[in-house]
Amino acid sequence: STGDLYVYITVKPHKFFQREGSEVICEVPITFVQAALGDTIEVPTLDGKVEMKIPEGIQSGTVMRLRGKGIPYLRSTGRGDQHVRIKVLTPQKLTDKQKELLREFAGIKNDKANPEQESFFKTLKNLFK
């Protein structure tokens, strides 16, 4: 007798990459110095490593796109994209010299350095007037 055959495929999770359709997602850690000053980093892709330019002032959680570095489209030409979520690492143990330099840096006034923070504090201040 003939009947229907159902086949279920489960894709085992990868340690670094996640998949959403034809898109590939990964998270890449960078130092807070790289985030502040910008840098060029190597990012793993399904085809090997590629260089990606990190703009200065990037925030943790920002997602950058590598076009055409995702999963090949089914029954079509081309590929999806790879989305790279930036994770800015905050140092957990600093030397006395590093702490001193950071305190000195914090003491330099620059109103344009954190416009979102300034806006937040102005909004908060207006709430309590």
Amino acid 115: pLDDT? 65
| Residue 3 forms part of a structural domain | no
Residue ranges making up the domain that contains 49: 18-127
Structural domain total, the chain? 1
Residue 43's DSSP bridge partners are 50
Residue 96 lies in a domain: yes
* pLDDT value of position 74: 87
Considering the domain boundaries, does residue 6 fall inside one? Answer: no
Residue 5 forms part of a structural domain: no
pTM of the model: 0.76
**94 domain-assigned:** yes
Q: What is the CATH number of the domain that holds 74?
A: 2.60.260.20
Q: Which pLDDT score is estimated for 117?
A: 63
3-state secondary structure 30-77: EEHHHHHHCEEEEEEECCEEEEEEECCCCCCCCEEEECCCCCECCCCC
Q: Note down pLDDT in tens along the chain; length 129 residues.
A: 789 999 998 878 899 999 999 999 999 999 999 999 999 999 999 999 999 999 999 999 999 999 999 999 988 899 999 999 999 999 999 999 999 998 998 888 766 666 666 666 666 666 666
In a domain, 61, yes or no: yes
Rounded CA separation 68/110 (Å): 39
Q: d(Cα 53, Cα 65) in Å, to the nearest integer?
A: 11
Domain membership flag for residue 84: yes
φ/ψ of 80, rounded to 5, equals -75, -175
Residue keyed to tokens 């709430």: 127
